[in-house]
Amino acid sequence: MSEPRPRSAAADPLAEDDAALLARAVVALQRHAEPLREVGALFTDAGHELYLVGGSVRDALLGRLGVDLDFTTDAHPEAVQRILRPWADGMWDTGIDFGTVGAARQGHRVEITTFRADTYDRVSRNPQVRFGERLDDDLIRRDFTVNAMAVRIDPAAPGGIGEFVDPLNGLAALRARTLDTPSAPEVSFGDDPLRMLRAARFVSQLGFTVAPRVRAAIEQMAPELGRITAERIAAELDKLLLGADPVAGIDLMVETGMGEQVLPEIGAMRMAIDEHHQHKDVYQHSLTVLRQAIDLEAGEPDLVLRWAALLHDIGKPATRRHEEGGGVSFHHHEVVGAKMARKRMRALKYSKQMVDDVSQLVYLHLRFHGYGDGRWTDSAVRRYVTDAGPLLSRLHRLVRADCTTRNKRRAARLQANYDDLEQRIAELAAKEDLARVRPDLDGNEIMQLLGIPAGPQVGRAWNFLKELRMERGPLDRDEAEAELLKWWNAEGGSTV
């Protein structure tokens, strides 16, 4: 199990007592006082109850509440639409089959769901929707107790904030940083297996751990994730990777058997020994690279970089070879890994762009190690930049993150070599357009000079000029035409 990152007590809201946590939530909710009072008054006037619920209450207690607010009510969806229509600038009903109506006004987004008391068919994760009549019935059907707290919206109360409702001791679980289920975990996960993967996501996002009974149920029921669509799996994996500590979430996923169901290539890396012998296995090395890549991010979390960091060495188990003298090699693991990354991400129904970007970074991550002590030609530098294309800045971060040796001298040498490579890229870029290395003649000019129509011959000529441009840099027009004619004659062509 990976070691958790240390917490700063001063920045930890859960170091406070219950009264202080509730006070923190009130402060967070007061920033939304206007929509809370307005929407609360609409439902009160219509004779209905309205509660802030779920992640919104949890995040208010943690001091991380955003602009999206989730509510539950005894009003049925059609009534919710009638109540909200005079208030909302816009409304949507994409979740109305499950009792959810969404609306937005002046930058605030609300989703309001009718009390639910669903039953499940235990074949898919789709519930047989049944509306409930009591808040308690709604709360007990939720995934975890930290998401089963509510705040009554009372327009007559300060800021529209009424009583705090916690029948399942969610606040205590929050204080303990524990994910537990409102009902028996076997029942909860049997109803919706995606909740198991959601536990790993919350471990990453919130820094919580799972209760022992929850972990035991996940270990037993992980194969049930086979009932979940690839798209829903991918959405949870993305949220996990974008969390504050994705390594903790990945560890839970792998150690409980969930990883074998949704991302088996990650757990398989535990069987490979890293060639530098500085980590227990390639799995731990990859988690370290992920952490270091996150530390190198500029601004917002970079999902493509994080996926590439996690998957960059997945080709090692398939390419492991024991050499004479006790050594281990992983020749061409970047080529095999890129193919494996592409196959897995396609199976998870990622976009073509996402698949291409992640697999290309996996493919390129090892190329820098041929740089040595700055012995690359300008041509090799151009190819490195051209092959990376718009991924170059991510490739820089991935390669730097991939340095996990504990040998300080070797680590310093690797970083100095990469500093040198980046400096050479900058120097070449100052002389020529490295971001768009193209032949010095375009297709029309090639056809005119050679007297040939559009077709495969033009493509071959264009590729020759592209390779020439890579090798020698920009040529003036006369030189480019002379080289093209020399190549054309050598190929047996003739001009007209």
pLDDT tens digits along 149-195: 999 999 999 989 999 999 999 999 999 999 999 999 999 999 899 99
3-class DSSP state of 457? helix
Among 14-23, 134-143, 224-233, 311-320, whose mean pLDDT is lowest? 14-23
- In 3D space, the residue among 103, 107, 101, 170 whose CA is nearest the CA of residue 139 turns out to be 170
DSSP state of 332: T
- In 3D space, the residue among 344, 322, 343, 340 whose CA is nearest the CA of residue 331 turns out to be 322
Residue 423: pLDDT above 60?
A: yes
- In 3D space, the residue among 243, 242, 173 whose CA is nearest the CA of residue 204 turns out to be 243
CA dist., res. 359 & res. 362, Å (int): 5
CB-based burial of residue 45 (10 Å sphere; 0-12 exposed, 13-18 middle, 19+ buried)? exposed
CA dist., res. 409 & res. 494, Å (int): 59
**Per-residue model confidence as pLDDT tens digits over 93-124:** 988 888 999 999 998 999 999 998 766 655 65
3-class DSSP state of 2? coil
> Cβ distance 143 to 188 under 8 Å?
yes
pLDDT of residue 279: 42
Q: How does residue 1 score in pLDDT terms, banded at 50, 70 and 90?
A: very low
Please report, for residues 253, 272, 314, 402, 406, the alpha-carbon distance to residue 285 in angstroms, rounded to integers and kept in the order given.
17, 10, 11, 8, 12
Give mean pLDDT, residues 444-457: 86
Question: What is the four-CA torsion angle of 486, 489, 491, 493, rounded to 10 degrees?
Answer: 140
- In 3D space, the residue among 337, 228, 223, 227 whose CA is nearest the CA of residue 282 turns out to be 337
Please report, for residues 29, 166, 177, 412, the alpha-carbon distance to residue 173 in angstroms, rounded to integers and kept in the order given.
21, 11, 6, 45
**Long-range interactions of 480-489: CB distance < 8 A, separation 24+:** 480/439, 480/440, 480/441, 481/441, 481/449, 484/441, 484/446, 484/449, 484/450, 485/449, 485/450, 487/461, 488/450, 488/461
Residue 245: pLDDT above 70?
A: yes
Among 168-172, 456-460, 471-475, whose mean pLDDT is lowest? 471-475
Among 158-167, 244-253, 383-392, 441-450, whose mean pLDDT is lowest? 441-450
CA dist., res. 48 & res. 133, Å (int): 11
Beta-carbon neighbour count of residue 347 at 10 Å?
13
Q: How does residue 272 score in pLDDT terms, banded at 50, 70 and 90?
A: low
**Per-residue model confidence as pLDDT tens digits over 287-320:** 999 999 999 998 899 999 999 999 999 999 888 8
Beta-carbon neighbour count of residue 331 at 10 Å?
10
Beta-carbon neighbour count of residue 320 at 10 Å?
17
> Cβ distance 459 to 414 under 8 Å?
no
pLDDT of residue 125: 54
Q: How does residue 271 score in pLDDT terms, banded at 50, 70 and 90?
A: low
Average pLDDT of the chain, as a whole number: 88
CA dist., res. 178 & res. 218, Å (int): 15
